[in-house]
Structures are given as structure tokens and as C-alpha cells.
Amino acid sequence: SLFCGYPEGGGSRVLSFNWYEDNNYKVFLGVNGSKNHNYVYDDSTTPFCNSLMQTLESNPVTKIVWNSVKPLLMGKILYTPDSPAVRKILKSANTTFEEIERLQNLAKTWEEVGPQ
């Protein structure tokens, strides 16, 4: 009965080898036929950021990526203890943010020198 995801006689749930049973893909994709979740305006950010977040959350494909990245970009990342492994992870994270900043600078430059 382990392959079905439930122990004999019911009871608590155990790991399933059935992907669709083990992962609620409708929740993952944000698909829910009965409820419509509208974007909630965030007063702590700029109108541009709110517009961007609303756009990202309105498309099911970008919503998947945004829901994964949003806590990193909008929240605080707590790290402890100060160790070589933690420093390596933070260096990698900072590299990602540096690349995002480069893309942002490139976009600003393109606005100035690109076709009008």
C-alpha cells in the first residue's frame, strides 16, 4: 500500500510515488476554479514596483517564478552562523543581485541610446 500513498487501514499520509498525488499541481500553478485572488496593493513599495508585481502575479507562468523569487527580493534573508559555507552561499546570492543590477543599468542605457 506504500505505492498508493496511504498505509493500510487509512491513517496518516506517507510518501507517494504518484507525482500528481504527492504534489498539488493546482496549488503550485495557482489554479483554483472557485476563488479569484486579486493583487493586493503594497504601500511599502513604489507604484512602478506594484505595477510590475501585479503583472507578474497575473500570468500563471510568471507567477510560478515570482512566487519563488519574491521572498528573496522582498524579504530579509537571515543567515547564521558565520562560516565558510554560509559566506559561499551569500557570495553566490550577491552575484545574482549584481547581475540583476547590470541588467537594470543596461535597460536604462538602452532607454537613453536606443531607437526613440
pLDDT in tens, 3-12: 444 444 454 5
Cβ 42 vs Cβ 48: under 8 Å: no
Q: Once rounded to an integer, what is the mean pLDDT over residues 23-38?
A: 56
pLDDT range class, residue 31, cuts 50, 70, 90 = low
pLDDT at 71 over 80: no
CA of residue 114 relative to chain centroid, distance: 31
pLDDT range class, residue 109, cuts 50, 70, 90 = very high
pLDDT range class, residue 93, cuts 50, 70, 90 = confident
pLDDT at 66 over 60: yes
Q: Once rounded to an integer, what is the mean pLDDT over residues 80-91?
A: 84
Question: Looking only at Cα atoms, what is the longest distance across the chain?
Answer: 70
Q: Once rounded to an integer, what is the mean pLDDT over residues 55-72?
A: 83
B/e letters for 94-112, b = 16+ CB within 10 Å, e = fewer, are eeeeeeeeeeeeeeeeeee
